[in-house]
Amino acid sequence: MWKKFLVIWLLFIILFSLGNCAFADDEIEEINETDNNILATVADNISVEPETYSKHIICIERTTERVLYEKDAYTKTPMASTTKILTLIITLEKCDLSEVVEISSKSAHTGGSTLGITEGSKMTLEALVYGLMLRSGNDCAVAIAEHIRWKC
């Protein structure tokens, strides 16, 4: 039961930390016409670009599907976050999170978004999972994948 909760919790964090605006239709009341007009006026008068570390963002007003803000939103990119979520699911299904993983050279030298793990260090799968999902650590993803391949 706690594993399903962890997956849902981590997915929630990912969705709202990537800088994307995503809302569920059944969880938010309909925006009435007045709110729509206010939202449109505010969006039209924003002159300062929001500060963000994301390379690609799109924020869409749900009822009108009007794009409120976008930054390189239509460029195709690899599905890194989706791959990390699948890595997490396989880890939770196949492994015990208390297992200890020795960090390989390959995982320690993985580029992109990393946790900064070092070659030869030892970490629990639980710590690697947190690094994978909260820091989007590519190095953690490789270490977990190697562990699953050889141990689980």
Catalytic-role residue among 3, 54, 71, 81: 81
pTM, to two decimals: 0.54
Per-residue pLDDT tens over the stretch 9-45: 555 566 555 544 444 444 444 545 556 666 666 666 6
Burial (CB < 10 A; 0-12, 13-18, 19+), residue 71, is: middle
What residue segments make up the domains of the chain, in order of their start? 2-71, 80-150
Asked if residue 129 lies in contact with residue 143, where contact means CB atoms within 8 angstroms, the answer is no
Instruction: Note if 84 is an active site residue.
Output: yes
Instruction: Note if 98 is an active site residue.
Output: no
Per-residue pLDDT tens over the stretch 78-122: 777 888 999 999 999 999 999 999 999 999 999 888 899 999 999
Instruction: Note if 81 is an active site residue.
Output: yes
